[in-house]
Amino acid sequence: MYRTHTNGELRLEHIGQEVTLSGWVQKVRDKGFMVWVDLRDRYGITQLIFDEERTPESVMESAKKLGREFVIQVKGKVIERQSKNPKIPTGDIEILVEELTLLNDAKTPPFTIEDETDGGDELRMKYRYLDIRRNPVKNNLIFRHKVALEVRKYLSDEGFIEVETPYLIKSTPEGARDFVVPSRMNEGQFYALPQSPQTFKQLLMVGGMDKYFQIVKCFRDEDLRADRQPEFTQIDCEMAFVEQEDILNAFEGLTKHLLKEIKGVEVADFPRMTYGEAMKKYGNDKPDIRFGMEFGELNKVAQHKDFGIFNNAELVVGIAVPQGNKFTRKEIDKLTDWVKRPQVGAKGMVYVRCNEDGTYKSSVDKFYDQEDLAKWAEATNAQKGDLICVLSGDVNETRTQLSALRMELAERLGLRKSNEFAPLWVVDFPLLEWDEETQRYHAMHHPFTSPKVEDIAKLDTNPAEVKANAYDLVLNGNEIGGGSIRIYDKATQALMFDHLGFTPEEAKAQFGFLMNAFEFGAPPHGGIAFGLDRLVAILGGQETIRDFIAFPKNNAGRDVMIDAPSPIDEEQLKELNLNITVK
Ligand code: ASP
């Protein structure tokens, strides 16, 4: 038997017991006549003591040769520690070692296996198995397990059935490129890895499963903006005979359950906001509502003077930064530079200081008097001591820029508190989105999303105005889930494909199986998918999903540990009937 106890288990009550422990050597302290070793495993650290007077000589000698990360087994007696360590649960005891077995030695690790490590990102990824020995990573993985388990428990109790769907499929249109897999048995043909189980879960509804969920990997070949992974995990769900309201209620329930079980936080019913409102108030379809700083539109109160920049702008819009008047001139100049960076793209920033005495001082005093500025303050809900930041220009661009500034300022002012949770539903998304590059409409969610019935007529006249029965769950400024009520009749689905620019033949080739299924009694249905990685990261009070994935890929989509992707050999290529021409 390798061990009678783990390294996180022994307490004063075990004193006198003979125990066997196994684990990794965290640290050796050799005082000559005495050697202390910190022995680590997943459960904790236990101190071993080797004492010249009480430990057999050969054991003592072996102890002195131990190095970091050696794997050992010891037998010994639990004794009370002279100097106790209140910082660890096993700090009251130590093991007086009688036998020591070296199970495996270890090269010196390339970075320290401590909570605070000296290893850079790339190095830690290369030796991820060592990184996982560190508490922060290990604890994140355990945390993820707990969240996934709670999801399964809650959904099962609510009558959902977990069903696996295939990974080797045909393209699913979630807006990214597919990863493809060549088929050896079907020469010249390819599978696509699912961007989500979307079509399969809809087919499960046609199959009568009624309430489905799956914790499932999804694969999307897209440019990896910060903190995205080419393979990620969804909590994927679908329900039959439901309306939007049923889905929102079911998954609000799940989210509340998770917040309560995992964080001990009880939240009120989630507020709802339309997409239009979110864009107007926050310039963002996933607003962080933990703090105020709502947009105040200033067109009416700023476009009547000789300030050409504002007069020519489609939108003049500002936010009040709480206590922002304390910013120095230099700090404000820096903020201006920040919004002018190409990543944000504003042309400039106008500001108004709201003084404690009720007066205003602005960067455009030449054009606006105190009365004007008081109206700006009213529109942005600015208080004495605040700073109003104003941007102007094209509606969509300006909103996006001000949203970026709002988030940046909130971050700097410490308003994005990781222990506060502010969920909300964003509803009534547009059905279609114009794509400049391809000069045509794309489905904003996906092509199976049902338009709002009252808007269907507008599909021909004003497609951009058609709203969808689509919704997102937003938590602390992150989209953690999104879904929709689906189209479930062949005619509407065909109409939708037509508006998305598919010829009937193309639609049939790609989605014929779904259209066929709709002819065999498809029930009304809808669903949602949560991004598990992101949800876990936010619940864990962090924002990088990588830290919650055992073996993540880097920004170039590479697994630097196993060195993938990599070329395959000639033989394999031949078998697959593939010719590679690398330019
Ligand atoms: N398949 C969708 C997605 O991955 C979610 C859904 O509509 O249920 O975003």
Give the atom of ligand 1 at the shortest distance from the alpha carbon of 470.
7
Query: How many angstroms separate the alpha carbon of residue 89 from the centre of ligand 1?
Result: 44
Query: How many angstroms separate the alpha carbon of residue 248 from the centre of ligand 1?
Result: 14
pLDDT value of position 172: 76
Whole-angstrom distance, CA of residue 234 vs CA of residue 228: 13
pLDDT value of position 209: 98
Give the atom of ligand 1 at the shortest distance from the alpha carbon of 448.
7
Q: Nearest residue CA, atom 3 of ligand 1?
A: 529
Query: How many angstroms separate the alpha carbon of residue 330 from the centre of ligand 1?
Result: 46
Q: Nearest residue CA, atom 4 of ligand 1?
A: 196
Query: How many angstroms separate the alpha carbon of residue 528 from the centre of ligand 1?
Result: 6
Residues 6+ apart with CB under 8 A from 242: 485, 524, 525, 526
Residues 6+ apart with CB under 8 A from 414: none
SS3 readout for 510-552: HHHHHHHHHHHCCCCEEEEEEEHHHHHHHHCCCCCHHHHCCCC
pLDDT value of position 223: 85
pLDDT in tens, the chain (583 residues): 999 999 999 999 999 999 999 999 999 999 999 999 999 999 999 999 999 999 999 999 999 999 999 999 999 999 999 999 999 999 999 999 999 999 999 999 999 999 999 999 999 999 999 999 999 999 999 999 999 999 999 999 999 999 999 999 997 778 889 999 999 999 999 999 999 999 999 999 999 999 999 999 999 998 887 789 999 999 999 999 999 999 999 999 999 999 999 999 999 999 999 999 999 999 999 999 999 999 999 999 999 899 999 999 999 999 999 999 999 999 999 999 999 999 999 999 999 999 999 999 999 999 999 999 999 999 999 999 999 999 999 999 999 999 999 999 999 999 999 889 999 999 999 999 988 888 889 999 999 999 999 999 999 899 999 999 999 999 999 999 999 999 999 999 999 999 999 999 999 999 999 999 999 999 999 999 999 999 999 999 887 999 999 999 999 999 999 999 999 999 999 999 999 887 6
Query: How many angstroms separate the alpha carbon of residue 198 from the centre of ligand 1?
Result: 6
Q: Nearest residue CA, atom 1 of ligand 1?
A: 198
Query: Do 50 and 35 meet the contact criterion of CB atoms below 8 Å apart?
Result: yes
Q: Nearest residue CA, atom 7 of ligand 1?
A: 483
Ligand 1 interacting residues, C-beta cut-off 6 A: 174, 196, 198, 482-484, 527-529
Give the atom of ligand 1 at the shortest distance from the alpha carbon of 527.
8
Whole-angstrom distance, CA of residue 530 vs CA of residue 61: 55
Query: How many angstroms separate the alpha carbon of residue 411 from the centre of ligand 1?
Result: 30
- In this structure, the dihedral spanned by the alpha carbons of residues 50, 52, 53 and 56, taken in order and rounded to 10 degrees, is 70
Give the atom of ligand 1 at the shortest distance from the alpha carbon of 172.
1
pLDDT value of position 583: 66
pLDDT value of position 174: 81
Give the atom of ligand 1 at the shortest distance from the alpha carbon of 234.
4
Angle, vertex CA 370, rays to CA 365 and CA 376, nearest 5: 90
Element (H, E) at 234: strand 231-240
Question: In testing the pocket of ligand 1, which one of 446, 525, 533 has its CB within 8 Å of the most ligand atoms?
Answer: 446
Query: How many angstroms separate the alpha carbon of residue 516 from the centre of ligand 1?
Result: 21
Angle, vertex CA 179, rays to CA 173 and CA 184, nearest 5: 120
Query: How many angstroms separate the alpha carbon of residue 512 from the centre of ligand 1?
Result: 20
Whole-angstrom distance, CA of residue 505 vs CA of residue 496: 14
pLDDT value of position 253: 98
Collapsing DSSP states into helix, strand and coil, what is residue 127? coil
pLDDT value of position 328: 96
